[in-house]
Structure 1
Amino acid sequence: MKFKLIFFTFFILYSSVSAQEGTLPVIVKTVVDTLHQSKENMLPADSILKGNYNTENSVYQKSFAPDFQKKYNSKDFDYQVLKPHESLWERIKRNITRILRKIFGDLDPLTANRYTFNVLRILGVVALAFILYYLIKYLNSKNGNFFFGKKNKKLAPTSSEIHENIHEINFPELIQKYESTKDFRSAIRYRFLYVLKILSDKNKIIWMPEKTNQDYISELKDENSKMQFLDLAYIFDYVWYGEFSLSQSDYDYYKEKFQNTRF
């Protein structure tokens, strides 16, 4: 019994010692920072300069051209930020947008641009209408001769003829004079001026030297008078301002037109 107890105790002690001898050692890894450099073995730069440091490298003094600053005055070296030039069209759009914002309050950019475009389109149509109106009025002042005929400079009335007072002219006498000399153009002209005098005496038009035939047509109230006057005005323009010679038969035809007209 004692022998078994001693053997059991010896077995336990032997197992404990064997377990301690078989345990693996713990390996501890040491991480070294390769970027870290100790300053213990390094000398400051000031100490190197104070120790009469010498180098074999050649040192050259840098020199600049006397006018080296001129090249920096060009636009390539101008870094100043300038406000872009605003055109007339852009100023107009900006002012219209500002007015719309005052009327309708704050608007988002898309709505403001749409309103501005519509306003500009309306203004463009109105401006075009005015231009066409004055262009047509100018062409009518030429008695339709701008497109349909060439003015005969030799037969163009002088300033004295244009401004002569129709109420002081003896038309029958002048017309007979030009008919006798075969000056049919002048005869047609005074027949037409005689028509203006008749209309003025009947208060159907207000005669003025600077007025055009289109002005007189607009003053006539009834359509019959307008059509008759328009027919006679066409004959006058064709004969007086055109480059067409009149024969006796041509003149007799136009003369009958004037004589058969009743206002």
Structure 2
Amino acid sequence: MRYLSALLFSLVFWTNSFAQNDSIVRYDTSQIQPLEITQGDLQDYLDDEAFNYEVVQAEDNWWDGVKNWFYNLIRRFFEWIFGVDSAAGYLAIFLKILPYILLVIFLYLVVRFFIKVNTRSLIYNENNPNMVLLSEEERILRTEDIQQLIKDALEAKNYRLAVRYYYLFILKLLSDRELIAWQLQKTNDDYMSELSGSHFKNDFNRATLLYDYIWYGEFNIDQDGYSKIEHVFASLKNSIIGNA
């Protein structure tokens, strides 16, 4: 037993001594040669676009200016409402995308408007073969027998169209007598202004209001309604002819 204890003690002592000797730090005393990098070595990387990290600031165009102006306007509005100096969090994100949302809504309304107008025009043309198109106005004034057109419309009981022709006949009388300078792009208000100094301006203004209401307002009238309107137009026609 004594020999066994001595053997174990010697083994432990020998192991500790080996571990201490093995843990000694050894320093590398060899001479270090620095790596030299020349300008030529760097030139390949300088010429490679993959290593170009320069950020080029693009110039703002007019659209960017409009977006920035609108964004700042909306931002100040919300800052005024919420009583904060600057928008942050979800509000800031909302303000950034709000101009695009409004733009999409605006474009949608514009496209919807034109689609609705074109569809309505096609349907109205199919249901109204006697309808006068705005582009036909000049042809009617210069080449057609307007009084005959009025008679045809009355025979077809299209009293609204008859009012249209009668008003064009009034414009033709005024233009032939150089009381107005008829042009396709002019409005009825322009002709009212040109006749502001004439003695039949009130009759013309009344006839114009009736025509605008019936024709552009798409208000259908019967024979009795046309008879009342015809009285106004006939009185104006006689005043123009008597002024010649």
TM-score (norm 2): 0.43
Larger Rg: 1
Higher helix proportion: 2
